[in-house]
Structure 1
Amino acid sequence: MSVHSRLAACIVFTTLGPCAFAQLTPPPALGSPPHAQAGPAAPVVSGRIQRWLINPNGEVDGLLLADGTQVSFPPHLSAAVQQLLKPGDTVQVSGRRAANAPVVRAATLTADSGRSVSDQPPAPDAPSPPPREPGALTGALTAMSADGQVAREIYTDRGDVNGVVLDDGTIVRFPPQAGAQLAMIVQPGGKLYAKGWGSSSASGNALEATAIGSTSDDLHELFARPNGEQAGLPRGPREERLAPAPTAP
């Protein structure tokens, strides 16, 4: 689900439960055959987990391996993956990689113990999750800013730049078209200042940028109002519009 579209719609969010459709499998029995070698449609990569990648909602939706490989997975696997793995562990990942893309889209993540987490579609007869009450996520996101040097870029499954990791570990996400337009700012080694909406958690800090620049005095607004004017930070979920003060007769 796109954080970008939710920001353009005044920060109205609807998310799945943290472990929806995640399946934790036991280690294989002794004598069971080893994993089959993956073909082009299901590459297998392995390595030590360097750090989690988190989205502005505070959910883990990817990881970086020590060799620089980026792995992505749906945010509804966040809790299950963190129960199985932690930074510093070795993981084997099977999944898919688009042609020339620097990202592996994980279908299964397997720990050294042999246990794994797989992204499983819901059963045809599985009940739908109950609808979230309106306003249930109100206050989940807060206005944030980030300032630092770009340590590395983050990519979509198709290979477009849609975020960066700063030198202090903060993750800044933005629409892929912004990554293309602001390539000189978001490239590794560049100085970046961003403001937007996000969250802080034990996993780290992440925000969805509404404006990006090399400094706070040189910001490029990323979202436009319906009339075409550039918008600043969106209003908070419960922020009310104040009536103009009456003028003196």
Structure 2
Amino acid sequence: MTSRLTFFATACLLAGSTTLAFAQVPPPPDGPLPPAPPGVRGAASIGAPQAGTVATGPVQQWLLNPNGDADGLLLADGTQVAFPPHLSAAAMQMLKPGDTVQVSGWRALDVPVMRMQALVANGRSLTDQPPAPGMAPALREPGALSAMSAGGRIERLLYTDRGDVHGVVLADKTIVRFPPHIGAMYGAQLQPGAQFQARGWGTRGAQGTALEASSLGQTADSLHDVFSGPGLEPGPRGPGAPRGPRGAGLASRVPPAPPTPLMAPPPPLPAS
């Protein structure tokens, strides 16, 4: 039990810090990015993100991480604006859903994702810069996250700037996140309009609901462990095969799912 709790705490800390590391990288260099590892599906943006682009429009909703911090905006035209979670409080003080914003930054290729460099709304501006010492967002203790479930129709997919699906927005605006390799495994089933169910750990507040999935399926009776279920074990372990923890992590705190999922995973990748 102690080792499982330790792993769960580590997973939560990593989940809380992933977006921060992503959004604070220096401006992309000129020229193409390294290609995605072989066998990883969904890496659509192989070229360099387009620097100096601008998006303008009304804010549809906050994009929240499972800790309850905003790490992005969803605009009405579908653009997903990403920024580090230490800007969450400042962003929420200067705007709200329905306000019109202007965002400048780097736009990914082939997916509607922008890494924010600066944001202007209501006569105020916000710039992406590292947090002052001691101003980084406090990570929640594992016990502060609540066991949650969510379900309904998928309204929108959430992407990384390389084109990997790493979450969904449901019709009721609930945000469900999961590792990109899970998005790659279930790519054919994760489509706007499809039915979706998930259980996991997250937060619910005035700004919205977000959770990290520990099990998912198409119905409540087909939930399947995303880490260690029999249908999600990695295929042959070639150099490009997706890999993930087995029988550990967030899933170890959730009751086992039924043995036969209705959301069938894709066939295993061939050995390289």
1:207 and 2:211 equivalent? yes
Q: Do structure 1's residue 118 and structure 2's residue 112 form an aligned pair?
A: no
1:96 to 1:195, Cα distance in 2 relative to 1, 3 A = same
Q: State the SS of the aligned residue for 1:185.
A: coil
Residue 156 of structure 1 and its aligned partner are, at CA, apart by: 1.1
| Offset at residue 61 of structure 1 (A) | 0.8
Pairing 1:234–2:252 present: yes
Counterpart pick for 1:48 among 52, 55, 58: 58
Task: Give me the identity figure in percent.
Answer: 53
The amino acid of 2:227's aligned partner reads F
Query: Equivalent of 2:102, from 92, 101, 106?
Result: 92
User: In 2, distance between residues paired with 1:130 and 1:95?
Assistant: 22
Aligned equivalents of 1:40 and 1:131: distance in 2? 29
Amino acid of the structure 2 residue aligned with 1:10: F
Alpha-carbon separation, structure 1, partners of 2:226 and 2:182: 7
Aligned residues of 2:114 and 2:161 also touching (Cα < 8 A): yes
* Two-structure CA RMSD over aligned residues (Å): 3.0
The 5 A counterparts of 1:148-163 are 148-163=152-167
**Matching of residues 1-249 of structure 1 within 5 Å:** 9-12=7-10, 13-14=12-13, 40-113=50-123, 115-121=124-130, 127=133, 137-224=141-228, 228-229=246-247, 233-235=251-253
* Aligned residues between the structures: 202
**Any gaps of 5 or more consecutive residues in structure 2?**
18-48, 230-243, 255-272
In structure 2, C-alpha distance between the alignment counterparts of 1:215 and 1:148, rounded to whole Å: 9
The two structures have a TM-score, normalised by structure 1, of 0.72
TM-score by length of 2: 0.66
Structure 1 residue ranges without an equivalent (≥5)? 1-6, 17-38, 237-249
Cα pair 2:59 2:98 within 8 Å, conserved: yes
Match of 1:241 in 2: none
Structure 1 residue 130 displacement after superposition: 9.3
Larger Rg: 1
Q: Return closer, same or farther for 1:199/1:127 CA change in 2, 3 Å cut-off.
A: closer
Distance 2:245 2:171 in 1: 37
